Amino acid sequence: MRPLVLIATIATAAPAAAQMHDMRGMHMPGMTMPPPKKAPARPKPAKTAPARKTPRAANPKPAAMPGMDMTAPTPASCQPEHAAMGHCSPTPAATTADAPPNMPAGTDQPAGNAPPPAPPTTLAAARFYDPATMARANRTMRDEHGGMRFAQILFNLAEVQVRRGRDGYRWDGAGWFGGDIDRLVVKSEGEGGFGDRIDDAEVQALYSRAIDPYWNLQAGVRQDLGMGAHRTYATVGIEGLAPYWFDVEGALFLSDKGDLLARAEAWYDQRITQRLILQPRIELNLAAQDMPASRVGAGLSTAELGLRLRYEIKRELAPYVGVSWDGRYGATARYARSDGQDHGGVALALGLRTWF
């Protein structure tokens, strides 16, 4: 009986053992295993209406990158490049129709007449440094930026004049020392013949004051030398650069005897090349009365016309050649003839224009 029961038990347990080949079927005595958990059932998707397709933007907004601010600018700060990418919309500019009626704008407004602000009278550094030290520093700064002292000596004419029967010489120069506004000027001119005394000569000492960028007002004294009367004159005159680059000088002379003289000069430097310059020149001398001691007659006493061509070896040194014509008129010509002198004529001029 027992063998039959054993066979029936094995036959019954064989299908169950065949279905369990994992670890759950293998347990040790005294060890209990939890029952296996059932997998949760998947929910069925709900039926929804099909989504509508939206049109794609012409300029899609790019995705933001980490650390990058993609906030669209406000319309007030919308730049053209941002507007071109579609990031913002520029605000339309206001038109003249938006402005209040009958209200001038821009350059249509009338000129104002409000007084300008007062210029500062103190230096900021004066709050920290001694006033005397600041005054010296301020003066040094002015000297280095235009308030300096200069000097120059210029001989516009220094020449030998070759005449028929009588050769001579002539000079006309000036020197000055000072600044841009105030200067001391010394002028001298004269002429003579070789082997004789100086015929005419004069020296002027003048104070020169700039009255604008192109003109100087001058006043001082003049002393005559040479063969004539040695008279002293009070002098007032003007010199400067006229329009079209004409150098002009004019002066009045009142002597210690009450004699009144006048002089006008002008010349022009016509550049032919950078080194070759043609200079026409004119000088007129006048007197208000006859001056027998000085051999000068009333009216137009002397006139001189010249044309000189110079070559600038350098700016400070320029030899020249030219012609000069001078004449005496009225009583001045009579004085010259009575003294055995020529009353005028043409001369060949050979000279040197220099300055330093």
The mean pLDDT value for 4-31 works out to 48
In the structure, what pLDDT confidence band is assigned to residue 324 with cuts at 50, 70 and 90?
A: very high
Q: What average pLDDT does the chain have?
A: 80
Percent of residues, the chain, with pLDDT higher than 70:
70
Given a contact cutoff of 8 angstroms between Cβ atoms, the answer to whether 129 and 146 are in contact is: no
Arithmetic mean of pLDDT, 294-306: 93
Which pLDDT score, from 0 to 100, does residue 112 have? 76
Six-digit token pair at 85? 């990418």
183 vs 107, residue with greater confidence? 183
Mean pLDDT in residue range 220-233:
90
What percent of the chain shows pLDDT beyond 90? Answer: 46
pLDDT at position 348: 96
Burial (CB count <10 Å: 0-12, 13-18, 19+), residue 308: buried
Q: Calculate Rg over the CA atoms of the chain.
A: 54
Q: Where are the domains of the chain?
A: 150-355
Distance CA 64, CA 79 (A): 20
What confidence score (pLDDT) does residue 220 get? 98
Supply the CATH classification number for the domain 150-355.
2.40.160.40
**pLDDT tens digits for 251-263?**
999 999 999 999 9
**pLDDT tens profile 113-157:** 777 767 666 777 877 888 888 888 888 887 777 777 889 999 999
- What tens digit of pLDDT does each residue of 82-110 get? 777 777 776 655 444 444 556 666 666 67
Of 253, 251, 247, 176, nearest to 215 by C-alpha is 247
* Alpha-carbon gap, residue 302 to 319, rounded angstroms: 26
- Specify the higher pLDDT residue, 276 or 88: 276
**pLDDT higher than threshold 80 for residue 26:** no
The residues that bridge with 114 in the sheet, in sequence order, are none
